[in-house]
Structure 1
Amino acid sequence: MLNLKKLSVTGAAIGMLGSLLAGCGDNNAANGVSADKKVELTFWDAAWNEAITPGVIKEFESKNPNIKINAQYNPDNGMSDKYLIALKQKNGPDIININLDWVTPFATIGGLQALDSYIQTDKVDLTDFFDGSIQSAKVKDKIYTLPYRAETHGLLYNKKLFADAGIDAAKAPENWKQVLEDAQKITKGDVFGIGLVGTNFGNLTTQLFNMIQSNGGSILNADNTKSMLNEPAAVEMAKLYVELSTKHKVTPNSILQNDNIANRNLFSSGKIGMYMSGAYDVAPIKQANANIDLGIGMVPANQTRKTILSGWGTSITNSSKNPEAAWKFINFLSTPEISTKYSITFSARKSAAKDPKYQDPQTKAFVDALAFAQPLPQIPELTQIKQSVFNQIQSSLSGKITPEEAMKNASKEIDDLLAKK
């Protein structure tokens, strides 16, 4: 388990600094940034934002001419590892764009600066953020990131392939029995009913965990001390996940090499009838195939509808020598107006839901699903838990062990991990 380290700036010191600065008249000075002092900040962003971020930075710099933002873009593959190493060594950037799942492990090693005093000084309305987003941003009741993006999964399906198979294309499958039946009808030749992932532990576990939760199961017990993955509701979905490939043969033969991008490409080219993903895939699909008849529904549910709330936020690292200036930027990114521009899915602000960008009927299922979405357990061991499940399911997809054995093995590893806390 990672050791908890003290942050370089204590809560008391930040609070004192906020009180002192609040008395200054200049807006920049009120946030610890002198109007005549030029500050340069390094911002590690995600590669998929490279077309969006420059415009957002330009807008920020026009309002804050004494602050310059130098953005560097990182691909998804290896991003969390790069961040973690930099934070441990205290040689990272001033600001990082992070998945909400990473907040707890990054804050636990002392890699992020708490934001509570800034939030209080600038009177940021936390009630306007989705509850799950703020819950994910907290560690021991302190907030370490300001969310700007919220999302959950839905089921994307090809209406033409459904209609050609004699399936009502007006609505998506409502439960997992129907998913299997529809996938079997669609599968023919080199066209398969559904795309699932067999590589990329984040992609695989997100999809499997969505299935488990939609079947009334859960990942851990209520106090996050024991695995629930060996319970019937979880095992049933693990078995379906694996057997859609190994028994029913309704997934592409390349499942072990396919991540979410591979499935999106297969879907765009009409080679799979449906797959789970987020709103971020809609634009690339339409760019790849403008004529595709795209349908979108919520993730199918056998029991109470409950999907995973994911999202992203921006944080000030332990390396920043100009945290007040960094705060101004991350606060700017989280505002309803800017977060709507910056997020490739949905803003983490409730008040942004009325924006015309989110009124497209095709994305309505994703917006509606946010009401049923909840974050995964916010514990430092979450990445290790995902890796364990991924390893076991991969072995099952390869035919080395049964799905039941996979869940039993993963649960044992998870219980052993949690017992060390």
Structure 2
Amino acid sequence: MSNVKKSYAAAVAAMLLGTSLAGCSGANSSSGGAGAGGADKPVELTFWDAAWNTNTPAIVKKFEEKYPNIKIKVQQFPDNGMSDKYLLALKQKNGPDLMNMAVDWVTPFAATGGLAALDDHIKKDQVDLNDFYDGAVSVTKVNDKMYALPYRAETHGLIFNKKLFEAAGLDSSKGPENWNQVLDMAQKLTKGDAYGIALPGTNVGNVTTQLFNMIQSNGGSILNKDNTKSALTEPAAMEMVKLYVELFTKYKVVPNSMLQNDGVANRNLFTNDKVGMYMTGIYDLDPIKQANANAQMGVTMVPANKDRKTILGGWAVGIPAASKNQEAAWKFIQFITQPDISAEYSVTFSARKSAASNPKYQDPLVKPLLDALTYAQPLPQIPQWNQIKQIVFDQLQTALGGKATPEEAMNQASKAIDELLANK
């Protein structure tokens, strides 16, 4: 992590996009001895959360029943601009008492100096870190200190439309095992107004997540081992970049609207029997069932040409260093990361291994995605990561739009990434 430490200041400054903090609640508004660890005086904690967590009120209610002198004031934010808002609050030391954050935000957030290390709390209360997925723990560490505790873990799989598989003469009992099979099946599935596979062409996070899944499943990587240079021009990575582009431009097995389609659009196309396959996570299963009660779908792991290795994602809760109620805030983190509570709170999977037996994860459609967590690995944890994703997205757009070959696009991306990483 030495490169991370050296590049904190420049990378964080580049990521602060001037998001307004109007209306934010400062940590100083909370009161009482409970903030210092006592339970005799009432305290109110401000919790910044994601807008899509509709079950947060139920979780908060359970916590407040257990700790009646600690009240949680929840403020929820949409995905767009959320990380920038958090970063600016941490930089200015006027954020909440608790932050719910994507795991790949932890490193740049810690770079501000605005997150409190949790190691003393973890040691004091003997939190069993061995019960957390290894990757979920590793992405919350910076320079061997933990700045958040994960409650949610996720990876991706491939959902396939059994109805379209049968119509194309394909075995609907199983999905493709490798990317050669994906191409073959996609060509057979593309008929009339239905296409073989959906891939996102817009939304930086959607596009790079799926492309990086493909690269890793082919034995490739985005950066070299010490995160100092791009690896996107290496054969294993380039093969998948070329496939991502050519499924659209050459083989024409991806909907014509790809450049306007994000993950939600692709889910809707699948729900309406317009695509035979697409990559996603557990969070899309219920929306598909709700939108189409007759949906006939199967789920398999992300196809792999080499050793299986998909992207590990997830969410964790941390405490801003400016909070004056850190002991009370830690109680909430302990509570929300328990196996049963984290399984209830998460819209994907709990970050706790012992929660794998939870009944909600035993659905045959869910099981392949749970099993895939064993093969999930975190992406590079460096402050420049969001900038790298943007570079890859921008250059991939030129190839999808026919303005550059995949090779030309990744050469340009690699040049920009190498320059970014060299300027520490």
TM-score, scaled relative to structure 2: 0.91
For residues 237-271 of structure 1, give each alpha carbon's deviation from its aligned partner in whole angstroms, at most 9, with x where no partner exists: 00110111111111111111111111111111111
User: 1:45 is aligned with what amino acid?
Assistant: D
Q: Secondary structure at the match of 1:49?
A: coil
For residues 100-149 of structure 1, give each alpha carbon's deviation from its aligned partner in whole angstroms, at most 9, with x where no partner exists: 11100000111211100111111111111000000001000000010000
1:276 has 2:279 as partner: yes
- How many angstroms apart in 2 are the aligned matches of 1:227 and 1:310? 21
Contact conserved, 1:184 with 1:193, CA < 8 A, in 2?
A: yes
1:254 has 2:257 as partner: yes
Q: Displaced runs of 4+ in structure 1, greater than 2 A?
A: 28-36
1:331 has 2:334 as partner: yes
Q: Secondary structure at the match of 2:101?
A: strand
- CA shift, 1:165, in A, is 0.8
1:2 has 2:8 as partner: yes
- How many angstroms apart in 1 are the aligned matches of 2:402 and 2:196? 21
- How many angstroms apart in 2 are the aligned matches of 1:176 and 1:78? 34
Contact conserved, 1:132 with 1:375, CA < 8 A, in 2?
A: yes
Q: Secondary structure at the match of 1:362?
A: coil
Contact conserved, 1:4 with 1:108, CA < 8 A, in 2?
A: no
**Are residues 237 and 360 of structure 1, via their aligned partners in 2, closer, same or farther at CA, if it must alter by over 3 Å?**
same
Q: Secondary structure at the match of 2:8?
A: coil
- CA shift, 1:35, in A, is 2.5
Match among 293, 300, 305 for residue 302 of structure 1: 305
- How many angstroms apart in 2 are the aligned matches of 1:68 and 1:361? 39
1:38 has 2:42 as partner: yes
User: 1:363 is aligned with what amino acid?
Assistant: V
For residues 248-306 of structure 1, give each alpha carbon's deviation from its aligned partner in whole angstroms, at most 9, with x where no partner exists: 11111111111111111111111111110011111111111111011000000111111
- How many angstroms apart in 1 are the aligned matches of 2:268 and 2:85? 27
- How many angstroms apart in 1 are the aligned matches of 2:10 and 2:106? 13
Contact conserved, 1:336 with 1:351, CA < 8 A, in 2?
A: yes
* Number of equivalenced pairs: 398
- CA shift, 1:236, in A, is 0.8
Consecutive unaligned residues of structure 2, counting only runs of 5 or more, are 1-6, 12-31
User: 1:328 is aligned with what amino acid?
Assistant: K
- CA shift, 1:31, in A, is 8.0
User: 1:71 is aligned with what amino acid?
Assistant: V
- How many angstroms apart in 2 are the aligned matches of 1:420 and 1:140? 20
Structure 2 matches for 1:241-390, cutoff 5 A? 241-390=244-393
- How many angstroms apart in 1 are the aligned matches of 2:59 and 2:386? 31
**Are residues 348 and 229 of structure 1, via their aligned partners in 2, closer, same or farther at CA, if it must alter by over 3 Å?**
same
User: 1:63 is aligned with what amino acid?
Assistant: K
- Per the alignment, residue 142 of structure 2 pairs with 139
Contact conserved, 1:4 with 1:109, CA < 8 A, in 2?
A: no
Match among 68, 79, 83 for residue 76 of structure 1: 79
1:393 has 2:418 as partner: no
Match among 228, 231, 235 for residue 234 of structure 2: 231
- How many angstroms apart in 1 are the aligned matches of 2:328 and 2:273? 48
1:186 has 2:192 as partner: no
- CA shift, 1:169, in A, is 0.8
- Per the alignment, residue 27 of structure 2 pairs with none
- How many angstroms apart in 2 are the aligned matches of 1:410 and 1:387? 10
Q: Compute the RMSD of aligned alpha carbons.
A: 1.6
- Per the alignment, residue 25 of structure 1 pairs with none
